Amino acid sequence: MVSGTRVYTARKRPGSRLNARRYGLSGAVIYAVIITAVVVTIIPVLHILALSMSGREAVLARKVSLIPRDINFNAYTSVFMDKSMQRALGFSAVLTISYTLLAMAGSILLAYPLCKARLPGRGGLMVFILIPMYFTGGIIPEYLWIKTLGLVDNPLSLLLPVLISTYNTIILRNFFSSIPASLEESAMIDGAGDFTVLARIVLPLSVPALATLSLFYAVSRWNTFADVRYYINSTRFYTLQMKLYQVVFNSTDTEVNMLEGGRNAVLSDTIKSAAIVFATAPILAVYPFLQRYFVQGVMIGAVKE
């Protein structure tokens, strides 16, 4: 040891081990909760998939749980070949894409002015927009309104009443507000107008928020069938979810045979399961392409500078 120097030994604080144990315990609890939620979510999906691919005898004997027995795809063939399911799928796809594009355009054009302090009466306009978010007239006044406009049994009745979400507009407005104002001011000094700034500066910087809200709009429109029951009478305007509702909750032996093309080789349970997969798969197929934007978009407003 060199004289005149002191050697200090690092000592752990008495509470450090206790804190580590606490953190370890809390982490274990979090992981346990997440794993439980995943298992509870996945098990019904696996059961539906197994039923949709199992044979008649195994389903009758109730031997199908999470693994399919006597694998065959007769149920999927019956569902895919059914004309009404094909028509409902096509209409749902067109409706969802149209609704998402119109809803995003409306939300953008509403949210961008609301984030500008120079907008006259911005506070009062915001209150006016928030009122329908908390208070609604109910389904009966809404139906009478749709009937007065002559939109009963019209596809527009599935678009106009739910065209813009106040909640999504507020989220988008907050995201626009987080973009540095210096970028817009520089563009305006160079002669750019509001629409040019919006198209060339704001929107390219808002891709995570736009992708996330587009997914929200698309999923909400794809999964909704209540307004179809209220406003639509013609089967040609039935969405896939409405058709699925009929198959799952209102199917009789006659309806199942019609769906199967008159064959009795496929049971009602397998038809229902295949129809559920048929209605769920398209929206699940879109999610992986938007996942990276979705992860960024859900953090909107979480970090403030």
Are 238 and 88 contacting, i.e. CB atoms less than 8 angstroms apart? Answer: yes
d(CA 213, CA 294): 9
Whole-angstrom Cα distance, residue 225 to residue 22?
Answer: 47
pLDDT score recorded for residue 108: 93
Q: What is the pTM of this model?
A: 0.77
Phi-psi map region of 261: left, alpha, beta (phi>0 left; psi -120 to 50 alpha): left
Cα torsion 290, 291, 296, 298: sign: positive
Mean pLDDT of the chain: 80
For the stretch 253-283, pLDDT in tens is 434 554 544 444 455 778 888 888 888 888 8
Helix (H, G, I), strand (E, B) or coil at 146: helix
Instruction: Please report which confidence band the pLDDT of residue 298 belongs to, taking 50, 70 and 90 as the band edges.
Output: low
Distance of CA 128 to the CA centre of its chain: 27
pLDDT in the model for residue 264: 46
Band the pLDDT of 247: cuts 50, 70, 90: confident
Evaluate if residue 14 carries a pLDDT over 70: no
How far apart are alpha carbons 46 and 179 in whole angstroms?
43
What is the tens place of the pLDDT at every residue in 106-119? 999 999 998 888 88
List Cα–Cα distances, 179 to 123, 205, 209, 298, in angstroms. 20, 8, 12, 17
Where do the domains of the chain lie, and which CATH numbers do they carry? 1-72 (no CATH), 74-297 (1.10.3720.10)
**70 Cβ partners below 8 Å, 6+ apart?**
54, 55, 56, 57, 58
Rounded distance between C-alpha atoms, residue 47 and residue 265, angstroms: 20
Least-confidence region, from 32-36, 41-45, 169-173, 183-187:
183-187
Of the ranges 152-156, 251-255, 281-285, the best mean pLDDT one:
152-156
pLDDT tens per residue, range 189-235: 878 788 888 888 888 888 888 888 898 899 889 988 888 989 998 88
